[in-house]
Structure 1
Amino acid sequence: MNAVLEPLPPAARARLAIRAGEWTGHTSGLAEGHVQGNVVILPAAQADHFLRYCQRNPKPCPVLAVSEPGHASLPTLGAGIDIRTDVPRYRVWRHGELVSEPTEIRELWRDDLVTFIIGCSFSFEQALLDAGLPVRHIEQGRNVPMYRTNIATVPAGPFNGPLVVTMRPMLAGAVIRAIQVTSRFPDVHGAPVHIGDPSLIGIADLARPDYGDAVDVGPGELPVFWACGVTPQAAITQARPEFCITHAPGAMLITDLLNHELASF
């Protein structure tokens, strides 16, 4: 008798599609209910400095996992994860300059590389939706808009730079509820860092995000800004490490963890 094969869970199924090159776009809305993570991969010589940078800036850089040097697996985040193939699109940096955006990094892998997975705001978006709150970029099928701000992060060694934020527009009556919902998820950026006038945090034009896609802001809506895990990419351009790999903005690692497991209460 043939054994009955259990269907793969959504996160594993999404990773296999990404590994096969069948999905190379942003991951917002994929594997509903599963935690997604930002990726930073650095040589071990810079890893201690970067870990301290994350510890000093927990709002934009909440660390979910750190690998052993040279290990491509992340067993605390999911069975069979291979960080070399399981992100839809990577960014390769040399001395702080972006040099390529491959869909896998096996040929670039080194025995001294350490992987950091940092919490992503995609993880609290399901909680917002469950609370009946709008998530505009999902409604419009776009990547979340991300902006560099004039808010400085706390430096550590060579790593420093501006805070990067994501933006989701909401009517004023929904903002308080959004604060309540996202405050429960400190491991994925928690509550907003700014509400309202974008110029107060150095954003000149909401229609021109630094990363991701612009979204519509309707009449009477306020822009609501959360800290973003793309912040390390701004720090990398300042630190100029000889070699570094990150995810492309919006193209995250999908883990086996469930979003509700990160809720603080």
Structure 2
Amino acid sequence: MNSEFGPRHLLSDAVATATMSPIEARMLFRSGMVTPTAGWAAGYAQANLIIVPKTQAFDMLLFAQRNPKPCPILGVFDAGQTSGPLLAEGDIRTDLPRYTVYVDGEVVAEPTDISGYWRTDLVTFIVGCSFTFEAALQEGGIRIAHIDQGTNAPMYRTSIRCRPAGSISGPLVVSMRPIPASQVADAVRITSRYPAVHGAPVHVGSPAELGIADLDHPDFGDPVEIAAGEVPVFWACGVTPQAAVMESKPWLAIGQAPGHMLITDARDSSYLV
């Protein structure tokens, strides 16, 4: 399920996207621009979404509480609420570049606006994203392959099971970044200081130990080239709730399209410990 790339020619300058404010980025997405958001609005936290009806909201909250590594909750909206402190003057229905809509666990649409699916009983969970610590990795001299290669981050279902909660169950999903062997310890040290956005890696090295058969075929996002001397490093991923939705099959759920994140008004540094 690879994500669709949009009109990058509208803003091809990576410096321009990195220096953009969150509200400027959200306004572009509201107007219809579609692009993965890695590297955008440097210094501001990006986030995953999972939106479910109120009848499933407690189970989803409990699932997140029992699985904090892949599902770190940054905020929860009341039923029907469409904005909040993390997105001033924003609208959760329009301000991401692309969404994924599930009915009975199946993808039925990948719209750029979910206003047509909105209901007053929908509860929005804002979940931490590993894009938040990528700027810190780059500042530490560690290159990010999917940013350098202009692709979406690769994400994989694993054979590791999350702790279930009521009607919600599913596998751990991980994102992968190839890191030079000499810098793996630095990557672990840097990301461990961001526990609210997945923190340290869950695995370094052989993907087979996670039940991943082929790094060239991610379940979400796009493959990246792994250079000689680089080691695959895996972080828990906020797409995990969407994998749980696919397995558990609630009658309706909405998430961001993988890699097409909510750019929040929170500073990356606010999640640094």
> What TM-score results when the alignment is normalised by the length of structure 1?
0.94
State the match for 2:9 in structure 1: none
- 2:248 & 2:158 partners in 1: Cα distance? 18
- List alignment gaps of at least 5 residues for structure 2: 1-18
Supply the AA of the counterpart residue of 1:27: T
How many residues matched?
Answer: 255
- 1:70 & 1:223 partners in 2: Cα distance? 40
State the match for 1:3 in structure 2: none
| Contact 1:158-1:238 at 8 Å conserved across structures | no
| Contact 1:120-1:188 at 8 Å conserved across structures | yes
- 1:183 & 1:152 partners in 2: Cα distance? 22
C-alpha displacement of 1:156? 0.2
Overall identity of the aligned pairs, in %: 53
Q: 1:185 aligns with which of 186, 191, 194?
A: 194
State the match for 2:80 in structure 1: 70
Supply the AA of the counterpart residue of 1:58: P
SS for the counterpart of 2:201 is: coil
1:36 equivalenced with 2:46 (yes/no): yes
- 2:180 & 2:47 partners in 1: Cα distance? 28
SS for the counterpart of 2:266 is: strand
Give 1 or 2 for the bigger CA radius of gyration.
Answer: 1
- 2:20 & 2:170 partners in 1: Cα distance? 38
| Contact 1:78-1:256 at 8 Å conserved across structures | yes
| Contact 2:20-2:40 at 8 Å conserved across structures | no
Supply the AA of the counterpart residue of 1:136: A
SS for the counterpart of 1:168 is: strand
Q: 1:104 aligns with which of 98, 113, 131?
A: 113
1:153 equivalenced with 2:153 (yes/no): no
Supply the AA of the counterpart residue of 1:62: P
| Contact 2:80-2:119 at 8 Å conserved across structures | yes
- 2:225 & 2:84 partners in 1: Cα distance? 37
- 1:34 & 1:43 partners in 2: Cα distance? 29
1:119 equivalenced with 2:137 (yes/no): no
Deviation beyond 6 Å, 4+ runs, structure 1? none
| Contact 2:74-2:127 at 8 Å conserved across structures | yes
- 1:81 & 1:60 partners in 2: Cα distance? 25
Aligned-residue RMSD, C-alpha: 1.0
- 1:74 & 1:175 partners in 2: Cα distance? 37
State the match for 2:68 in structure 1: 58
Q: 1:225 aligns with which of 234, 240, 243?
A: 234
State the match for 1:138 in structure 2: 147
